[in-house]
Amino acid sequence: MSPAAEPPSAPAGPARGPRPRRPVLARAALVAAGALVIAVVLAFLLLPIIALVTYQPLSELFGGLDAQVTIDAITVSLKTNAVAFGITILLGTPFAYILARHQFPGRTVVITLVELPLVMPPAVAGLGLLAAFGRLGLLGSGLQVLGIDLAFTQAAVVLAILFVAGPFYLRGAIGAFEAVDQDVLDVAGTLGAGPIRRMLRVGVPLASAGLGAAAGVSFARGMGEFGATILFAGSFQGVTQTLPLAVYDLFDANLDQAVAIGVLLLFVSAAILLASKLILRSWTNWTSTSSSRGAGSISAPG
């Protein structure tokens, strides 16, 4: 009996050495480069803000907000921006919905006209408003007949904010409504919901995240509006002087007080952006959890 044949041994492969370190080093270099870019950009953006906040002690900073000029500027800013914001939401929401959900000849031109104030220099926007609504402007004589004088009044401040800040909401709202699934709107229509009910009960809730973000940016832009306002409305304390205009007027007279108002504007803008993000997050969670309950609420004809 022959001895059992041993199984052939597997051929010896090439000896395995240490794994090359080049991919690890390349990845580390890429991470370091990315971190450096982020650090440089953040440093550039934060340095002026830090310098503004730390320009003077907090006691002097808050003390500069007690002056009458600051109180008047806060009052004018809040009043005019609240009016402009309400008009923007009331008229801008259906305007954006119509442009987003309907195709018609000249739609691209209309959207371009909406976007034009976004890139127009603020000083040119102020000149345009003055040429349109001023006493010697395009509509000036007709307004004079009606006893209306808009230039250099609080109404002029509202118009300047509407013209400069309103398009920020319009463009964001158009994008938000374009992202709404058309099938959902069609289902609402088959359940008997009319166009207005489809917009209010389906379109607006589903686009609420984008609408809220656009509204926050628009309001913050309105609070910081300067160029169009000073040319069309002037800078009269207690009448048309908003917070940015007060900063400009106090720059030479009282720099500490101007810095105090600037810091106030900075905090207001940051608070608006943060609040809009928090509200958006809660709205998004609400719409995602209540989407299954929406079919019953849109079935009534509208």
- Over the stretch 27-85, which tens digit does the pLDDT of each residue have? 888 989 999 999 999 999 999 999 999 988 877 777 778 789 999 999 999 999 999 99
Q: What is the mean pLDDT of residues 187-216?
A: 87
Has residue 155 got a pLDDT over 60? yes
Work out the mean pLDDT of the chain and round it to a whole number: 86
What pLDDT is stored for residue 186 in this prediction? 81
- Among 169, 163, 176, 172, smallest CA distance to 218 is for 169
User: Percent of the chain scored above 90 by pLDDT?
Assistant: 52
Has residue 99 got a pLDDT over 70? yes
CA distance linking residue 153 with residue 240, whole number of Å: 6
What pLDDT is stored for residue 20 in this prediction? 56
